[in-house]
Structures are given as structure tokens and as C-alpha cells.
């Protein structure tokens, strides 16, 4: 059947390509400014974050946490039968959570009167966009401003090309119906760490292989080492400064040689291998070159207000590069739309973007690490406090982890905050505010923190720093 092409061209003030956290928030924000707005999405609303990343991953991690607690209830005075993990049911729940979130995005766009165009967008030059639907039909639009928010795609490493069965990405890992007996995870960043923790708790024998000298290499060294110790205690093998060679796939699974400099190669075998070595910008097939949009190292080049090299075209989120985080994309959405509306929004300071890893213990950080602060020329004072000293942590039976705060010795202002502990991610908001507004160690210490809460550990770390200042 020959598909029809609509030759009419719709006119908009703003067209957003991609409906992830950056895209849908940009569209809603633009509509609230009174701008006629459309959003183009080739898949489910909410993008990768809502459908295949942030949201379903956290739902699965919660299932693993509940299972882990159910296996050790006697300490809390609870007696239950033998616990078992049903991965198919956990996946079903995670998909329902993702679907609910996607429907929520659809509702918000409808309420904001954003016109949604299903299909794949291609820039046609100037202010034009061609949108091809799944049935092959094409229609076009013109917009005075186009915001590219197409996210990212998995980075492919030669020799580790995913086949969706034995060599997989996080997408396949999110929909397994049975827990594999064993798994090799290549990559010790946030995705690799979270997936490793989930499958280890679900019952798989997991091995992490990280090329850098430590897992979560962008975080405080103390935090990374503490997480490594926790993982090894949980039975997860962690190999840093390592890589795989001679990877082979068979019906039985995957085999490879673990190569660490100065050591004899070690043979590894597993039912499957998860590749979690990062992502690159989702720029393929967008027509960027024809539209005059410059790219660099797989990402779109922009200025501080998200403008590209082409007039009227903007880029936000993962496709722009930098920290590849959903909340960064949301912040950039506001910046781009405010600039489109003729205002002068403050550029985003990457050091103030919080970073979170949702394993247990979880990891959260914002601002400068101690090492980065010293390199930037600061004389620093560090305050630490252990969660083991917290009454709330003891009541919860979760004693792992600590808070580390970095202050400027001359001004007392906070430069960075770093946490590892059970649900430590929920404490990062206070530290983000402290870094954003230059709150001092004394300011945190003299702020009353409710008792008993984990947030008291933040206060204790600030008090330790304050004592060091004299």
C-alpha cells in the first residue's frame, strides 16, 4: 500500500524533537510562555529515561531491595516463609511503573496544549522538520525555534557488539524473565554498578570489569573504595584496571580472558555479558549537517544557553554532552526556553549538578571532590561522619557508609558533598543547596536537623569540619 505524504506545512513557535525529561519539560515550559509548541517523538513518550532507564531501573532495584530484606527478617522480629525472587513479576511491575510514568507525561503535555507528533524527525534546513510516522507517511512543520532533545545511544566497543541474548545492554537486562546463573558486567559506572547490584541480589554470580583504576571513577576515591568493599562483601567480584580479551560466545554463554597489567590472564565464563561502557549522543539521522548544526565527538556543540551553530536550533540533554543525567536535561530545558523567550537565563554550572547511583548502599555527590578542589587552588577542610553513629541508621539496621563534606578553609563555604549509605541519594538536596549558595560549615551546623534522621549525619560532618577550622 502506497503511503500518503501531507504536503501542507504546520507552523509553530517551538518544535521539540524528543520527549525525554529535557524534551517534554522544554515543550511544557514553552507552552506556558504562550508559545505554540509541538513535540516529535518516535517511540513512547518520556524517552529512554521513563521507559528504559531511570524509572524502570529504580523499580527493579526496589524489588531487589525488598527481596534482600525478606531474606533476613528475623533480626527485625519478623518470621516469614522462605523468600523467592520472581524476576518475571519484578519486570512486569517495573514495566507498569514505566507505563504509568509515560502516561503521566502524555497527560502533562495534553494539559499544556502541546501538540504531539508521533514519528521520526529530520531537520530539512532553516526552520523545517520532516516527520515520518511508523506507517511511512510524512508531514512537515516549520518552527521559529527547534530544540533537539534526542538523548543518547549505547556506545559500542569492538569485540563486544551486543546480540541481545548473550551479549546484552541494559535494555535487555531490564526485561529478562529469568535470573541468569552468572553475569559479567563490563563497565563500573552508574549503569554497570546498578545492574550488577540488582542481579547479584536477585541470585546471579556477578563480576564487574572496569578499565579505570576504580569503579565510579568520577566520584570521591573514598566513596568508590567503600562501594567496592560493600560489593565484594555481597559476593560481587570487582576487577579494576582490567579489560576483556578473546571474548567468545557459545550456546552455553560467554567466555573471555580477564587482562590486568602485570598479572597472568584469567579465564572468565558467564551465562551472559552486560555491556555498560557509556553512551554517545543520539545524533544519527537527524539531518544536522544539512541544517548547519556542528557536532564534536558525537555530541552537538552549543553555547552556554544551549544554542547550536545554526540560528534558531537549540540542543539540550544528553545530545549536548557533559554530564549525561536526566535532571541536567531538565535544567537545560528551562535555560533554552527562557533564552527563546528573550530572557537571559543563568548558565548551568556542571559542578552543581548532583550525581546519584541507586544501588544499596547508594552514592550521591555534588560539587567538587577533595582532589578537584585542591587542583582548583583551594585550601580545603574536610568533615566526615559515619552513618553507624546515627540512631536512625541503627534503627533501620543499615550502618554502612559516611558523609564527606569539603569546605574552603579561608571562607568556610562548602565546595562539595559526598555520601554513601542506604538511601543516601535522598540527602543530596541539602548538599546541593549548600553548594549553590555557598553555605558555610557553621551554617549547616547551626541549622536544626530533625532527630532521629539520617540528615543529622550531614550536620555531624559539618561540625567535624568546623572543629578542624578552629
Whether 438 shows a pLDDT value over 50: the answer reads yes
Q: Which three cell numbers stand for residue 5?
A: 505524504
Looking at the structure, tell me whether residues 16 and 123 fall in a common domain.
yes
In a domain, 159, yes or no: no
For residue 278, what pLDDT is reported?
87
For residue 6, what pLDDT is reported?
59
Q: Given pLDDT bands bounded at 50, 70 and 90, which one contains residue 134?
A: very high
**What is the per-residue pLDDT across 295-318, written as a single tens digit (0 to 9) for each?**
999 999 999 999 999 999 999 999
For residue 398, what pLDDT is reported?
95
Looking at the structure, tell me whether residues 127 and 250 fall in a common domain.
no
Return d(Cα 428, Cα 442) in angstroms, integer: 18
Looking at the structure, tell me whether residues 23 and 103 fall in a common domain.
yes
Q: Given pLDDT bands bounded at 50, 70 and 90, which one contains residue 4?
A: very low
Q: Which three cell numbers stand for residue 80?
A: 516469614
Whether 451 shows a pLDDT value over 50: the answer reads yes
Write the burial class of residue 245 (CB in 10 Å: 0-12 exposed, 13-18 middle, 19+ buried): exposed
In a domain, 110, yes or no: yes
For residue 156, what pLDDT is reported?
87
Looking at the structure, tell me whether residues 341 and 408 fall in a common domain.
no
**Overall average pLDDT of the 226-243 stretch:** 97
For residue 8, what pLDDT is reported?
75
**Pick from 4-13, 136-145, 170-179: least confident:** 4-13
Question: Is 362:449 a contact under the CB 8 Å cutoff?
Answer: no
Domain of 110 in residue numbering reads as 5-154+280-350
Backbone angle region of 113, left / alpha / beta, with phi > 0 → left and psi within -120 to 50 → alpha: left
**Overall average pLDDT of the 56-85 stretch:** 94
Looking at the structure, tell me whether residues 382 and 446 fall in a common domain.
yes
Backbone angle region of 241, left / alpha / beta, with phi > 0 → left and psi within -120 to 50 → alpha: left
**Nearest residue to 321 (alpha-carbon basis) of 336, 338, 306:** 306
Looking at the structure, tell me whether residues 149 and 17 fall in a common domain.
yes
Tell me which of 297, 327, 350 is where a domain ends. Answer: 350
In a domain, 48, yes or no: yes
443: how many CB neighbours lie within 10 A of its CB? 16
Helix (H) or strand (E) holding 278: none
Looking at the structure, tell me whether residues 337 and 255 fall in a common domain.
no
Whether 276 shows a pLDDT value over 60: the answer reads yes
Tell me which of 313, 330, 350 is where a domain ends. Answer: 350
In a domain, 355, yes or no: no
**What is the per-residue pLDDT across 285-296, written as a single tens digit (0 to 9) for each?**
999 999 999 999
Catalytic residue among 239, 418, 449, 451: 451
Q: Given pLDDT bands bounded at 50, 70 and 90, which one contains residue 5?
A: low
In a domain, 161, yes or no: no
Percentage of residues in the chain having pLDDT higher than 90: 94
Would the CA dihedral through 22, 23, 25, 31 be positive or negative? positive
Percentage of residues in the chain having pLDDT higher than 70: 99
Looking at the structure, tell me whether residues 225 and 258 fall in a common domain.
yes
Looking at the structure, tell me whether residues 146 and 286 fall in a common domain.
yes
Higher per-residue pLDDT: 39 or 2 = 39
Residue 433's CATH number: 3.30.390.30
Return d(Cα 35, Cα 143) in angstroms, integer: 11
Whether 83 shows a pLDDT value over 50: the answer reads yes
Looking at the structure, tell me whether residues 208 and 81 fall in a common domain.
no
**What is the per-residue pLDDT across 403-414, written as a single tens digit (0 to 9) for each?**
999 999 999 999
Residue 286's CATH number: 3.50.50.60
SS3 200: helix
Whether 203 shows a pLDDT value over 80: the answer reads yes
Looking at the structure, tell me whether residues 238 and 377 fall in a common domain.
no
Whether 167 shows a pLDDT value over 60: the answer reads yes
**What is the per-residue pLDDT across 212-225, written as a single tens digit (0 to 9) for each?**
999 999 999 999 99
Return d(Cα 31, Cα 24) in angstroms, integer: 11
Tell me which of 325, 350, 375 is where a domain ends. Answer: 350
Q: Given pLDDT bands bounded at 50, 70 and 90, which one contains residue 470?
A: confident
In a domain, 463, yes or no: yes
In a domain, 162, yes or no: no
Domain total of the chain:
3
In a domain, 184, yes or no: yes
User: Could you give the maximum distance between any two Cα atoms of the chain, in Å?
Assistant: 80
Q: 239 an active-site residue?
A: no
Whether 272 shows a pLDDT value over 50: the answer reads yes
CA 225 to chain centre: 21
Mean pLDDT score of the chain, rounded to an integer? 96
User: Do β-strands 138-148 and 152-154 pair in parallel, antiparallel, or remain unpaired?
Assistant: unpaired
SS3 408: strand
The pTM of this model reads: 0.95
Looking at the structure, tell me whether residues 197 and 236 fall in a common domain.
yes
Amino acid at each position: 500500500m502506497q503511503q500518503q505524504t501531507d504536503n501542507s506545512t504546520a507552523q509553530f513557535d517551538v518544535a521539540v524533537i524528543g520527549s525525554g525529561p529535557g524534551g517534554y519539560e522544554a515543550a511544557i515550559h514553552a507552552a506556558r510562555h504562550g508559545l505554540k509548541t509541538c513535540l516529535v517523538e518516535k517511540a513512547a513518550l518520556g524517552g529512554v529515561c521513563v521507559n528504559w532507564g531511570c524509572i524502570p531501573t529504580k523499580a527493579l532495584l526496589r524489588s531487589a531491595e525488598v527481596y534482600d530484606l525478606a531474606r533476613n527478617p528475623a533480626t527485625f522480629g519478623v518470621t516469614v516463609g522462605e523468600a523467592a525472587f520472581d524476576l518475571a513479576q519484578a519486570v512486569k511491575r517495573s514495566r507498569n511503573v514505566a507505563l504509568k510514568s509515560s502516561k503521566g507525561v502524555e497527560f502533562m503535555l495534553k494539559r499544556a496544549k502541546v501538540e504531539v507528533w508521533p514519528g521520526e524527525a529530520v531537520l530539512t534546513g532553516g526552520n523545517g522538520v520532516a516527520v515520518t510516522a511508523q506507517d511511512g507517511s510524512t508531514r512537515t512543520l516549520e518552527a521559529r525555534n527547534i530544540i533537539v532533545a534526542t538523548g543518547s545511544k549505547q556506545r559500542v566497543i569492538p569485540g563486544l557488539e551486543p546480540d541481545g541474548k548473550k551479549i546484552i545492554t541494559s535494555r535487555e537486562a531490564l526485561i529478562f524473565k529469568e535470573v541468569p546463573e552468572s553475569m559479567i558486567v563490563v563497565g563500573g559506572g552508574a549503569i554497570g554498578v546498578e545492574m550488577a547490584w540488582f542481579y547479584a541480589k536477585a541470585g546471579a554470580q556477578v563480576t564487574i570489569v572496569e578499565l579505570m583504576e576504580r569503579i565510579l571513577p568520577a566520584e570521591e576515591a573514598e566513596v568508590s573504595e567503600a562501594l567496592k568493599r560493600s560489593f565484594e562483601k555481597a559476593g560481587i567480584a570487582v576487577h579494576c584496571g582490567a579489560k576483556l580479551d578473546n571474548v567468545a560466545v557459545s550456546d552455553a554463554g560467554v567466555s573471555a580472558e580477564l587482562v590486568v597489567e602485570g598479572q597472568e590472564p584469567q579465564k572468565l565464563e558467564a551465562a551472559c555479558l552486560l555491556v555498560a561502557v557509556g553512551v554517545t549522543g543520539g545524533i544519527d539521522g537527524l539531518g544536522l549537517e544539512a541544517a548547519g548544526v556542528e557536532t564534536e565527538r558525537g555530541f552537538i556543540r552549543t553555547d552556554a544557553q544551549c544554542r547550536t551553530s545554526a540560528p534558531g536550533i537549540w540542543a539540550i540533554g544528553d545530545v549536548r554532552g557533559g554530564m549525561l543525567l536526566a535532571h541536567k536535561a531538565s535544567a537545560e530545558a528551562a535555560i533554552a526556553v527562557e533564552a527563546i523567550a528573550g530572557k537571559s537565563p543563568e548558565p548551568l554550572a556542571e559542578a552543581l549538578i548532583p550525581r546519584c547511583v541507586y544501588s544499596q548502599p547508594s552514592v550521591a555527590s555534588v560539587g567538587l571532590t577533595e582532589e578537584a578542589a585542591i587542583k582548583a587552588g583551594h585550601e580545603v577542610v574536610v568533615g566526615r561522619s559515619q552513618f553507624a553513629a546515627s540512631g536512625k541508621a541503627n534503627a533501620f539496621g543499615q550502618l554502612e557508609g559516611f558523609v564527606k563534606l569539603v569546605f574552603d578553609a579561608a571562607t568556610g563555604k562548602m565546595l562539595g558533598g559526598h555520601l554513601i549509605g542506604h538511601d543516601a541519594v535522598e540527602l543530596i538536596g541539602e548538599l546541593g543547596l549548600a553548594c549553590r549558595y555557598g553555605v558555610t560549615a557553621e551554617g549547616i551546623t547551626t541549622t536544626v536537623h530533625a532527630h532521629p534522621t539520617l540528615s543529622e549525619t550531614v550536620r555531624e560532618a559539618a561540625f567535624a569540619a568546623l572543629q578542624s577550622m578552629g
